C-alpha cells in the first residue's frame, strides 16, 4: 500500500513538473498539467487493455487512487474526466499562449472547484467500506454527473469570455 501511494504521489509530482516546465503563467501551467494528467490516464487504461485485456468493459469498477482515502468508480468515469481535462486544458493553454486572458471570475473558481469536489466525492463515498475490506456499493453517478456539469459550465463560460490581454502599464 505504501509503495502504491508513493507511486501515485510521484506521478502527480511528474505531471506538475511538466506543467511547470511548459507553462509561462500559473494558469497556463495548470492547463498543461490538466492535459498531461488526462493523456496519462487515458493512455494508462488504453495500454492496460492492450497488454492484459483488462478492463473487460467501461463499466468495470476500478480502485482509482489511494490518496488520501481509496477512490473507486467505473472505468468510464475517470476516462470522461480525462477527456474533459484534455479538452479544457488544450483550449485554455491555446488561448493563453495566443495572448488572451480567460474570464476567471470568482464564480468560475468556486464552481470549478465545487464541481471537481463533487466528482471526487462520487469516488470516495465508499471509502469507509473499502477501508474496512468491503466491496463498493453502486456508483453514485448522479453526484459525478452534477460535478462534471458544474465544472464544465464554469470552464466553458470562462473560455468563452476570453479576451485579449491588456497591454502592460507604462510607468
**Consecutive 10-residue runs of the chain (171 residues): their mean pLDDT?**
83 92 95 97 96 96 88 97 98 95 94 98 91 87 98 96 77 63
What is the rounded distance in angstroms from the CA atom of residue 11 to the CA atom of residue 30? 15
Residue ranges of E strands in 86-150: 100-101
Q: Is residue 115 part of a domain?
A: yes
List the one residue out of 120, 33, 35, 17 whose CA is nearest residue 86.
35
| CA dihedral over 141, 64, 123, 40, signed as positive or negative | negative
Q: Are the beta carbons of 37 and 15 closer than 8 angstroms? A: yes
Q: Is residue 170 part of a domain?
A: no
pLDDT of residue 168: 65
pLDDT of residue 166: 72
pLDDT of residue 4: 80
- CB-side neighbour CA atoms (13 Å) of 89: 21
Buried b (16+ CB within 10 A) or exposed e, 89-125: bbbbbebbeeebebeeeeebeebbebbbebbbebbbb
Q: Is residue 171 part of a domain?
A: no
pLDDT of residue 24: 94
Q: Is residue 38 part of a domain?
A: yes
pLDDT of residue 171: 63
Q: Is residue 169 part of a domain?
A: no
Q: Is residue 55 part of a domain?
A: yes
pLDDT of residue 102: 94
List the one residue out of 140, 128, 33, 15 whose CA is nearest residue 89.
33
Number of domains making up the chain: 1
Q: Which domain holds residue 153?
A: 2-164
Q: Is residue 37 part of a domain?
A: yes
Q: Is residue 13 part of a domain?
A: yes
Q: Are the beta carbons of 102 and 27 closer than 8 angstroms? A: yes
Amino acid at each position: 500500500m505504501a509503495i502504491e501511494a508513493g507511486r501515485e504521489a510521484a506521478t502527480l509530482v511528474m505531471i506538475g513538473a511538466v506543467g511547470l516546465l511548459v507553462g509561462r503563467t500559473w494558469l497556463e501551467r495548470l492547463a498543461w498539467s490538466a492535459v498531461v494528467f488526462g493523456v496519462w490516464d487515458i493512455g494508462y487504461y488504453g495500454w492496460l487493455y492492450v497488454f492484459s485485456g483488462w478492463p473487460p468493459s467501461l463499466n468495470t469498477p476500478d480502485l482509482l487512487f489511494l490518496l488520501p482515502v481509496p477512490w473507486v468508480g467505473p472505468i468510464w468515469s475517470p476516462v470522461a474526466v480525462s477527456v474533459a481535462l484534455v479538452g479544457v486544458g488544450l483550449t485554455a493553454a491555446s488561448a493563453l499562449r495566443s495572448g488572451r486572458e480567460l474570464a476567471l471570475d470568482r464564480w468560475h473558481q468556486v464552481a470549478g472547484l465545487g464541481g471537481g469536489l463533487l466528482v471526487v466525492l462520487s469516488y470516495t463515498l465508499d471509502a469507509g467500506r473499502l477501508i474496512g475490506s468491503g466491496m463498493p456499493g453502486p456508483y453514485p453517478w448522479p453526484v459525478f454527473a452534477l460535478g462534471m456539469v458544474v465544472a464544465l459550465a464554469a470552464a466553458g463560460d470562462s473560455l468563452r469570455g476570453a479576451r485579449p490581454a491588456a497591454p502592460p502599464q507604462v510607468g
